[in-house]
Structure 1
Amino acid sequence: MPDISGLEPVATFCGNCDCGCPQLFVDPAAPADRRVVLTDDFGQRVQMSAAQFSDLVSEAKAGRLDGIALP
């Protein structure tokens, strides 16, 4: 599990499994281009800027990511 001390939790994305869940955090101590942190249930993390995260959210809202959620 990644070290999440000092991170401010925003959301947990639970897949209803027993292996952990991806989580979204803000790291107030990180440089602006790495402030948004997304962790997965395998101990990895992705760090991005608020602008990059905003673009990701916009793409999701527009339905451009819907295809990856299909079985």
Structure 2
Amino acid sequence: MADIGSLEPLATFCGKCDCGCPQLFVDESAPPERRVVITDDFGQKVEMSADQFASLVEEAKEGRLDAVAAA
């Protein structure tokens, strides 16, 4: 897996500050089951497959995650 610093972010979540906002990356050099990487502003990361990420996106589109965003 490439160093996060060498990857180009696909999306930045927030971006209204300079605090290291969560970001979404695709690491083409990682194994398929760890290719999608989401980092948080505490230096942690979550790695998942493209299928897992697609499932997360579908859940969000269908409104099943709205309660989390409203909290």
1:25 alignment partner, SS class: strand
Question: More helix by proportion, 1 or 2?
Answer: 2
Number of equivalent positions: 69
TM-score (norm 2): 0.86
Query: Per-residue deviation at 1:17?
Result: 4.0
1:22 aligned to 2:27? no
What residue in structure 2 maps to residue 67 of structure 1?
Answer: 67
2:11 alignment partner, SS class: strand
Cα pair distance change 1:15/1:7, threshold 3 Å = closer
Question: More strand by proportion, 1 or 2?
Answer: 1
1:32 aligned to 2:32? yes
**CA–CA distance in structure 2, aligned partners of residues 40 and 13 of structure 1:** 9
Query: Per-residue deviation at 1:21?
Result: 0.5
- What RMSD, in angstroms, separates the aligned Cα atoms of the two structures? 1.5
State the identity as a percent: 71
**CA–CA distance in structure 2, aligned partners of residues 66 and 15 of structure 1:** 20
Moved over 6 A (4+): none
Query: Per-residue deviation at 1:37?
Result: 0.2
Could you tell me which runs of 5 or more consecutive residues in structure 1 were left unpaired when the two chains were aligned.
Answer: none
**CA–CA distance in structure 2, aligned partners of residues 70 and 51 of structure 1:** 26
What residue in structure 2 maps to residue 41 of structure 1?
Answer: 41
